[in-house]
Structure 1
């Protein structure tokens, strides 16, 4: 998976895989069954387009997921970037782990904690 911010360095027509929290879904009546979705990761946002056939094929995920992974094709129109969704995966169960710290054991022989002085501004 790439970060949403990395889309700016990706060429038009390239296949990409990214994921994030669903910020909004729009399905305008004038869009002929197309859905627009915005997702966000820690680096930024990405705009997704779901054609009608993709919505129907994976409706529960497209309509209900709080966090998704999507594979699609990057489409550039000037400075505007969209990902045309081809496959979508429900990552909502992973929401429970977002923000949790992960302990990583160091590789050094004399691995020890480092005391960091900080100020409490409350």
Structure 2
């Protein structure tokens, strides 16, 4: 999955898990980044405006998440900023 990062969130109640929201021309996607995946991909996860995410899809009822294993930067022609850790 690939897209522009619109949000990065790490709630105090999530035990170090980070949630990233991606957006592309088809809509929004929820990405769950474990502590280990975050540490392994920290530079890209923290600094890229857009990413390519490889991982496993998890579905619970109507809710679909992608559990990230690898994040790669996705070059963008336009500059954009995400809303981080609020």
What TM-score, normalized by structure 1, do the two folds share? 0.62
Q: Which has the higher contact order (CA 8 A, sep 6+)?
A: 2
- Name the structure 2 match of 1:69: 52
Question: Structure 2 CA distance, aligned partners of 1:56 and 1:87?
Answer: 11
> Normalized per residue, which structure has more strand?
2
Question: Structure 1 CA distance, aligned partners of 2:18 and 2:60?
Answer: 18
Offset, 1:58: 1.0
Q: Is there any run of 5+ residues in structure 1 with no aligned partner, and where?
A: 1-17, 98-122
Q: CA RMSD in A?
A: 1.0
Q: Aligned residues, how many?
A: 78
Question: Structure 2 CA distance, aligned partners of 1:95 and 1:64?
Answer: 13
4+ residue stretches of structure 1 with deviation over 4 A?
none
Q: Is there any run of 5+ residues in structure 2 with no aligned partner, and where?
A: 79-86
What TM-score, normalized by structure 2, do the two folds share? 0.87
**Structure number with larger C-alpha Rg:** 1
- Name the structure 1 match of 2:64: 81
> Normalized per residue, which structure has more helix?
1
